[in-house]
Amino acid sequence: MELLTSNVVINGQRIACGIHGEGNPIILIHGTPSHSYIWRNVAPALEEAGYRVHLFDLLGFGRSERPRDPSIDTSVSAQIDILRGLMTYWKLDSAHIVSHDIGGAIGMRFAIFYPKMVQSLTLIDTVSYDSWPSVTWRERIKSGLEALTATSDSEHRKSFGDQILTAVYNKEKMKKEALAQYLEAISGPIGQASFFQHQVRHYDSRHTEEIDHRLQELAEMPVQIIWGENDSWQTPDGAHRLHGDIPGSTLHILAECGHFAMEDKPAEITNLIKGFIAAQSA
């Protein structure tokens, strides 16, 4: 399945997106350093189950526009307006939102600010509170990203290839099938510079810390939390904390599963999404 089949201009910026199937709408939101490719083993199964699946690459990510103007905001908070614009374009008054990593921060912020537009919220290995960026990334950002941007292509690919492998439990499978796809999107003459400008530059926990005190508002809708037991990027402690702070939420911890849970456990993720949404209609 080709996930992204069209382009639309939202707030003056080109966004690559796609719609698959008919039925109750689900919006899948990816994180960093990834793009909609991460949903390739989930989206077809959701479509087959009778849902209308909506995907898009965040502004500055994947196949969406990578603005040359550094003043164009591609942070977690700015992506909220992109999501709203897409829902208008898709003629959606509301949808089930399934979100991963920084996509989870987008999902939480959107659900808090626009609760009537969210039928349910699924959070998968999401950033939260002050859990991001990591200590290593904080040091890199503080010292400036210019040197990393100027790193040779081969060194950049080796460094981030090693890093992405730590996001999965099954590293051999990732090496064979997916690693090159993730690396290609953040490498090369455009991808490498764009990665630091549009993704890393906006690794900032203020986007989640400023909604800490409002997480209980998410009790207004069904919330599901899914986490990899072996997630070293966002440890399961975050899952338990979110579960405690969001009244009525459900929590699933998946064994032998890392941060890129859709790589390690696509079938389990799909079944949890289907079961959770179906329960809301029962």
Domains of the chain with bracketed CATH = 6-281 (3.40.50.1820)
DSSP code, position 58: P
- The number of beta carbons lying within 10 Å of the beta carbon of residue 271 is 13
Tens digit of each residue's pLDDT (9 = 90 or more) over 49-105: 999 999 999 999 999 999 999 889 999 999 999 999 999 999 999 999 999 999 999
Best CA proximity match to 25, nearest among 48, 56, 52:
52
CA distance 198 to 64: 11
Best CA proximity match to 252, nearest among 226, 279, 223:
226
CA distance 205 to 223: 21
CA distance 20 to 28: 12
Residue 159 pLDDT level (bands cut at 50, 70, 90): very high
Q: Both tokens of residue 118?
A: 């969210």
Cα 253–Cα 44–Cα 177 angle in degrees, nearest 5: 70
Best CA proximity match to 100, nearest among 76, 132, 122:
122
* Average pLDDT of the segment spanning 221-246: 98
Tens digit of each residue's pLDDT (9 = 90 or more) over 93-145: 999 999 999 999 999 999 999 999 999 999 999 999 999 999 889 998 988 99
| Cβ 167 vs Cβ 125: under 8 Å | no
For all residues of the chain together, what is the average pLDDT?
Answer: 96
DSSP code, position 214: G
Cα 173–Cα 178–Cα 181 angle in degrees, nearest 5: 165
Whole-angstrom CA distances from 67 to 6, 71, 208 are 18, 9, 24
